[in-house]
Amino acid sequence: MFTRVLSFSILFASGFAPALADEARVAVAANFSRPAEMLVEQFELLQPHEIELVFGSSARFYAQVQNGAPFDAFLSADREKPQLLAEEGLAVAESLRAYAIGRLVLWTAEPSLAITGGSLTANAGGKIALANPRLAPYGLAAREAIDNLGLGEQLADSLIMGENISQAYQFVATGNAPLGFVALSQVGRNGVIEQGSGWLVPAELHSPIRQYAVLLNEENAAAGAFLEFLRGPEARRIIYSFGYTMDDAEP
């Protein structure tokens, strides 16, 4: 344990003050809430720092940071928003890094059903939940998948939108919507869908959901250390276990 702390301290000695404990408030896209909680648990075992997590839609966080929200780091569900923040001088441009590539699942709360793309139309009249495409990258990916399946018009009246992917999940989990597009990390772990039944939406049906993190407050040692930790092997294992992948060619 001690050696791990030591090695981390040495690792960060170049960029970050290692010894002093700091606290950081990190805005996290809703799809990443389960892994983020587990990552913070691990991180806090290894570090003196403390991390407070806030979950929501990427668009909401973007708007809030623009208006001076006191977040120290931002884990977005896309690249666009953290990059814009960096361009606007509200985030540290050099800290912009991909931390996960997400996957979409068409999901129902009922166990042991065979769900496929065809379930979307077999669901006659039933509502289909997704995150709001204007606010949430996962909603945009769901929208693309529906369009690429050629069902855009047919399903136009069946779609109900959650403010973020957590609300889309909640609509389906409570049974109010029989089907919905959720993030794989919300319903699966270690390569299996743990609850309900789902169809892993083929990656070629939507643009890749590349999720980027950015540092907002350079002074905050905890936030910097947490973003470094995200790229380490231990964090990677946790992130992968929730069904995310990483594209190592991507910076």
Partner 1 sequence: MMFSPDNLQAIWLTLRLATTATLLLLLIGTPLAWWLARTHSWLRGPVAAIVALPLVLPPTVLGFYLLLALAPAGPIGQLTGALGLGSLAFTFEGLVIGSILYSLPFVVQPIQNAFHAMGDGPLEVAATFGAGPWQRFFTVAIPLARPGFISGSILGFAHTVGEFGVVLMIGGNIPGETRVVSVQIYEQVEALQFGEAHWLAGSMVVFSFLVLLIVYGSIRRHAITGMRFGS
Instruction: In the chain, count H helices and then E strands.
Output: 10, 12
Taking the complex as a whole, the smallest distance from the CB of residue 56 to partner 1 amounts, in Å, to 9
Q: Rounded to an integer, what distance in angstroms lies between the CA atom of residue 231 and that of residue 99? A: 7
Give residues in contact with partner 1 (CB under 8 A). 57, 59-60, 62-63, 66, 125, 127, 129, 132, 134-135, 159-163, 170-171, 174-177
Reading the block at residue 89, the tokens are: 């001088």
Taking the complex as a whole, the smallest distance from the CB of residue 29 to partner 1 amounts, in Å, to 13
Taking the complex as a whole, the smallest distance from the CB of residue 232 to partner 1 amounts, in Å, to 33
The helix-helix angle for 58-66 and 80-87 (nearest 10°) equals 10
Residue 88: Cβ-neighbour burial (10 angstroms; 0-12, 13-18, 19+): exposed
CB nearer to partner 1: pick between 65 and 92: 65
Query: Minimal CA–CA distance to 170: which of 182, 185, 158?
Result: 182
Taking the complex as a whole, the smallest distance from the CB of residue 58 to partner 1 amounts, in Å, to 10
CB nearer to partner 1: pick between 15 and 126: 126
CB nearer to partner 1: pick between 44 and 144: 144
Reading the block at residue 73, the tokens are: 């780091």
CB nearer to partner 1: pick between 7 and 66: 66
Taking the complex as a whole, the smallest distance from the CB of residue 69 to partner 1 amounts, in Å, to 13
CB nearer to partner 1: pick between 51 and 172: 172
Q: DSSP labels for 111-153?
A: TT----TTHHHHSTT--EEEE-TTT-HHHHHHHHHHHHTT-TT
